[in-house]
Amino acid sequence: IENGEIALVGGMYDVETGVVDFYDDEIVTEKTVAKAALAI
């Protein structure tokens, strides 16, 4: 993963709105969300 790229597992990042929509069928833990926030 290069710097500036956003990698999400089980979610979709909307570039225009800056909103991360997680898929309903995926289990997202607080730790995963925290790691995603730190990566942005």
pTM to 2 decimal places: 0.25
Q: What is the pLDDT of residue 15?
A: 72
| Residue 1 banded pLDDT, cuts 50, 70, 90 | very low
The number of folded domains in the chain is: 1
Question: Domain residues for 6?
Answer: 1-40
Per the model's pLDDT, the better-predicted residue between 33 and 40 turns out to be 33
Decide if pLDDT at 39 tops 50. Answer: yes
Closest listed residue to residue 7, CA positions, set 38, 27, 36? 36
User: What is the Cα 14 distance to its own chain's centre?
Assistant: 10
pLDDT tens, 2-38?
555 555 555 666 677 777 766 554 555 555 666 666 6
How far is Cα 17 from Cα 20, in angstroms, rounded to an integer? Answer: 9
